[in-house]
Structure 1
Amino acid sequence: MNAAAAAAAQKHTSSPLLQETVDGNKKLKKSIRMKQADHTGPTLDKSAQIIPKPDISLFRNSLKQNICVEMLREGYHRSFSELLSLLHSDQGRRAMAEPGSASLTQIPLEEQRDKLERIQLHLKKAEEAGRSGSWSVVCEQRLSLGHFFSVPEDLWLGLHFYHSCADKGRGGGGGGGGMGAATEARACMAEVYLQQGALEEARQQAELCVQQAEDVSWLDSSGRPLRLRACQTLWRIYSQLADTLLVTEDFREALTLLQKGLHMAKEAEDKQIEGEAAYQLGLAYQRADDHNTAKQLFTICMQIRGTLQDAEGLATVCMTMAKSSESEGNVDESVQYLEKAADISQSNDLQHQLAVACIHLGTIYYNRNQYERACEYFQQGFDVACKMEDLALTHQTQVFLASARGHTLIRKYMADMESATSLQQLQARTGVLGPDPAHSTDSLPCSTAVDRA
């Protein structure tokens, strides 16, 4: 039996799969023994099992605390103070915000990792560059932060960094370096203030930007000439300031601003803007009843828009010039401008402009008592309004057309009545009398008719 059992055991152990399993178990046991020997040996490093305190603080402290402590540990004390001031400003804004405002719906700045890390990165670079006197790098880092915070809810941060960039680029605090970036920061501030409706602040920054870029060829971050960009912004600012004055009919100051705006538009070297500036100034003179000057500016605008092949703008200017001509009593000239506007609109498929021009032409002929001609233009305007499916314009032209047709029919009826009267008078003069209704047998009593019979 022992010999048989030994033979069976030898047979089983000779199996390749079983042998591989046995070898694997041996290797596993050896590995476990080695690890145990390492842990129990005299060379065990107990500190490897202890987590360093800085790593513990990453989990225990808040994001704000970790970033502030890191900046202090690395020696960036100015950057720490500025970041802490911004965090306090954000808390103040949220505390003063009304219920339901955007400031309360937004996540607090201290909980936004990407923004805090971006501020930390650029402030540290700016502080380090300031220590070495490289003020151009300081301004560029702050300008970069201003560009980063460009969405509406972060514009307060963008303005902060734009202001600090402009201040660092000035001669005293920044040693005169970084003026290009500082000037671009002013252009950006002017655009942000304009977007927020703070027109006086926008005007101040834009005018400073134009002055600083007067005799230099600086480009902004996108490669655009900085002075031209500032001139365009300043034109928009002057335009909006003038609109506010025109509401109160302060024409003198409004015209002064719009004249400055036209000058800035020319300096911007943009014909589209120049044409718009001339048109706005012409409208202001028109409202001030100076139609002669207005027409001169409209003519300049027409030339520019004709060069740019702006058919819609050209048709609009023609109709505006027609209004000035009519105000001066020159109705024939007004008709010429309106007909030109109608031709341009029809050739370029400008349906709304065509309908408006036709209504104006119809109104002029209606007031001249030329009702049939008025009907032609009102009918054309009505057809265009129906084609556009503009209900308000359709109803308006429908009323005008009905009134003109009514006058046409009345005039025709009166003409027919006059014609009939003239015929009777002619017949009376020549002695050729027709049947007299007063002596017709059909109108006599029956007895008289019988007697005559």
Structure 2
Amino acid sequence: MYAEKQQLHEPFLPEITTDSSKHRRPQRRMKCQKETRQASDGSPQLLSKKEIALFRNSPKQFICVELLQDGYHRSFSELFSLLGLDEDRRAAADPESARLQSPPLGEQRDKLETMKLHLSRAEQVERTGFWSVVCEQRLLLGRYFSAPEDIWLSLYFYHSCADREKGGNSRWATEARACLADLYLQKGDLEKARQQAELCLKQAEEGGWLDSSGRPLKLQSCQTLAKIYNQLADFALANADYDMAVALNHKGYSMATECENKQIEGRAAFELGLTYQSSGDHDSAKQFFNSCMQIYSKLQDADGLAMTYKAMAKSSESEGNTSETLEYLEKSADICSSSGLQNRLADVCLYVGNIYYNMSQYPRAYEYFLRSYEVASDAGDVALLQKAQVLVGHTHTLLSMGKFSVDMESVSTACMKHQVVWRETGRHQDLSTEQSAASCHSLSDQSKMDKHTELLS
């Protein structure tokens, strides 16, 4: 009923009024909309000088002119210098490298705009003496240029932040040093990496600085130094300078214990144990391997435990303790088997097989070589598969020759039958017989090997 009453009182069409103002307003809006549509449809528009320059000039010219017009003369000089360095780098590159290079810096508008933004901000606050903000802007630029082709720019801006006379001990400058240490470590320049990391550690301890994520910069410096010292120790070890290698590994271990990262501490202990092992000090090596096993056990790191047990076995083998060697290797194999570490299991089985082979226990050696072959086959590790296949074949041949020799020396009827069958078939027979002096797998294992040779083709 209410709807029907509303329809009776409300007219079907709006009333027509004679007020002229009510007619003209919609016409003005329509006229404006019409002009806007015409402008968007491509009618001529007046462009500003800046918009004209944006289309007419190259990105390099446009950004440089803007810096000068806004009064940032130092930023202009720095940017212009970097553009020149980029041109020199590209000219000095060999043809193959030049072909793979990214476009010239002067043609990459986004990068130029980013540099203009942060350099002009840094110059503006530098005039007022806010040195920490200057460092912050340069640190942001260093982080921005993270792509591999821009590493040179990242190094430049990190250095321009960390090496400043004013603000060089600020939190931003200290973080820049941490970034420099990581970059030099990635490039393989260990001496420069160590120099920057040690300076960073000193400044971080003095200032108590935190990085951008709120983590103490001291921990980051210790972590980086641990990696650097261990890599330097590897070079010393390669040159048979065991004393220097041990000293460097001790420094790395000391840094690792302070970085509050048990994974890094365990790795540093393992590296130190390996260095002592290479120098012949197996007692010290076992001491650090035991520390390493304790850490990996708490972390439930199966790969680390398997690796450490194998290293312990090597030290025991060097000391002539075969039973202890096999005990450690069996533990390593059990961990690998239960954790699905197929590649490491294949390697451990080869190790055990070699020990039995050197002890002339060829059936046991054959058993472990075959197991290594099967595991490597399932894992698709062609390198281990090839190595295991050679050892399986060699050991199988030794066992066959031993069985044939026994049959030749014997005058029993069974041995004579074996010789006849051997001659007629031209193939190795099952070696796991009661009369055999050695116990190993039958020809079914050989057929299994033939089936897996497809991986080697």
SS at match of 1:153: helix
- The equivalent of 1:85 in structure 2 is 81
- The equivalent of 1:147 in structure 2 is 143
- The equivalent of 2:212 in structure 1 is 221
User: Given the alignment of the two structures, is residue 96 of structure 1 paired with residue 87 of structure 2, yes or no?
Assistant: no
Mapping for residues 297-446 of structure 1, pairs under 5 Å: 297-405=288-396, 407-408=398-399
User: Given the alignment of the two structures, is residue 283 of structure 1 paired with residue 278 of structure 2, yes or no?
Assistant: no
- The equivalent of 2:420 in structure 1 is none
Q: How far does the alpha carbon of each residue in 1:67-112 deviate from its partner, in whole angstroms, 9 at most, with x for none?
A: 2222222221211111111111112212222212158732111111
Answer yes or no: is the 8 Å Cα contact 2:178–2:221 preserved in 1: yes
Letter in 1 for 2:68: L
Answer yes or no: is the 8 Å Cα contact 1:136–1:178 preserved in 2: no
- The equivalent of 1:254 in structure 2 is 245
Query: Which one has a bigger Cα radius of gyration?
Result: 1
Task: Evaluate the alpha carbon distance shift between residue 419 and residue 90 of structure 1 in structure 2; reply closer, same or farther with a 3 A threshold.
Answer: closer
User: Given the alignment of the two structures, is residue 75 of structure 1 paired with residue 71 of structure 2, yes or no?
Assistant: yes
Distance in 1 (CA, whole Å) between partners of 2:60 and 2:401 is 86
Deviation, 1:382, is 3.3
- The equivalent of 2:121 in structure 1 is 125
Answer yes or no: is the 8 Å Cα contact 1:97–1:104 preserved in 2: no
Deviation, 1:411, is 5.8
- The equivalent of 1:212 in structure 2 is 203
Answer yes or no: is the 8 Å Cα contact 2:223–2:259 preserved in 1: yes
Distance in 2 (CA, whole Å) between partners of 1:406 and 1:63 is 74
- The equivalent of 1:111 in structure 2 is 107
SS at match of 2:163: helix
- The equivalent of 1:200 in structure 2 is 191
Letter in 2 for 1:372: P
- The equivalent of 1:295 in structure 2 is 286
Answer yes or no: is the 8 Å Cα contact 2:90–2:98 preserved in 1: no
Letter in 1 for 2:240: E
- The equivalent of 2:6 in structure 1 is none
Deviation, 1:403, is 4.5
Distance in 2 (CA, whole Å) between partners of 1:344 and 1:51 is 74
Q: How many residues align?
A: 373
Q: Which moved more, 1:137-146 or 1:282-291?
A: 282-291
Task: Evaluate the alpha carbon distance shift between residue 263 and residue 102 of structure 1 in structure 2; reply closer, same or farther with a 3 A threshold.
Answer: farther
- The equivalent of 1:165 in structure 2 is 161
Task: Evaluate the alpha carbon distance shift between residue 138 and residue 371 of structure 1 in structure 2; reply closer, same or farther with a 3 A threshold.
Answer: same
Deviation, 1:291, is 1.6
Structure 1 residues not aligned, in runs of 5+: 1-26, 32-48, 422-453
| One of 211, 221, 226 as aligned partner of 1:235 | 226
SS at match of 2:209: coil
Task: Evaluate the alpha carbon distance shift between residue 278 and residue 58 of structure 1 in structure 2; reply closer, same or farther with a 3 A threshold.
Answer: same
Deviation, 1:392, is 4.2
Distance in 2 (CA, whole Å) between partners of 1:313 and 1:144 is 38
Deviation, 1:126, is 0.8
Q: How far does the alpha carbon of each residue in 1:26-64 deviate from its partner, in whole angstroms, 9 at most, with x for none?
A: x9xxx9xxxxxxxxxxxxxxxxx9976666544444332
Deviation, 1:420, is 7.7
Q: Which moved more, 1:178-187 or 1:56-65?
A: 56-65
Distance in 2 (CA, whole Å) between partners of 1:414 and 1:103 is 67
- The equivalent of 2:20 in structure 1 is none
Q: How far does the alpha carbon of each residue in 1:203-238 deviate from its partner, in whole angstroms, 9 at most, with x for none?
A: 111110011111444221233321111111111222
Distance in 1 (CA, whole Å) between partners of 2:392 and 2:57 is 79
Structure 2 residues not aligned, in runs of 5+: 1-26, 32-44, 413-457
Distance in 2 (CA, whole Å) between partners of 1:60 and 1:404 is 79
Report percent identity of matched pairs: 57
- The equivalent of 1:62 in structure 2 is 58
Answer yes or no: is the 8 Å Cα contact 1:97–1:103 preserved in 2: no
Distance in 1 (CA, whole Å) between partners of 2:302 and 2:46 is 78
Letter in 2 for 1:126: A
Q: CA RMSD in A?
A: 2.9
Task: Evaluate the alpha carbon distance shift between residue 196 and residue 383 of structure 1 in structure 2; reply closer, same or farther with a 3 A threshold.
Answer: closer
Task: Evaluate the alpha carbon distance shift between residue 335 and residue 114 of structure 1 in structure 2; reply closer, same or farther with a 3 A threshold.
Answer: same
Deviation, 1:358, is 2.2
Distance in 2 (CA, whole Å) between partners of 1:103 and 1:227 is 42
Task: Evaluate the alpha carbon distance shift between residue 52 and residue 279 of structure 1 in structure 2; reply closer, same or farther with a 3 A threshold.
Answer: closer
Task: Evaluate the alpha carbon distance shift between residue 404 and residue 143 of structure 1 in structure 2; reply closer, same or farther with a 3 A threshold.
Answer: same
User: Given the alignment of the two structures, is residue 189 of structure 1 paired with residue 189 of structure 2, yes or no?
Assistant: no
Distance in 2 (CA, whole Å) between partners of 1:368 and 1:205 is 52
Answer yes or no: is the 8 Å Cα contact 1:134–1:177 preserved in 2: no
Answer yes or no: is the 8 Å Cα contact 2:101–2:149 preserved in 1: no
Task: Evaluate the alpha carbon distance shift between residue 389 and residue 105 of structure 1 in structure 2; reply closer, same or farther with a 3 A threshold.
Answer: closer
Task: Evaluate the alpha carbon distance shift between residue 110 and residue 411 of structure 1 in structure 2; reply closer, same or farther with a 3 A threshold.
Answer: closer
Answer yes or no: is the 8 Å Cα contact 1:239–1:261 preserved in 2: yes
Mapping for residues 12-31 of structure 1, pairs under 5 Å: none
SS at match of 2:255: helix
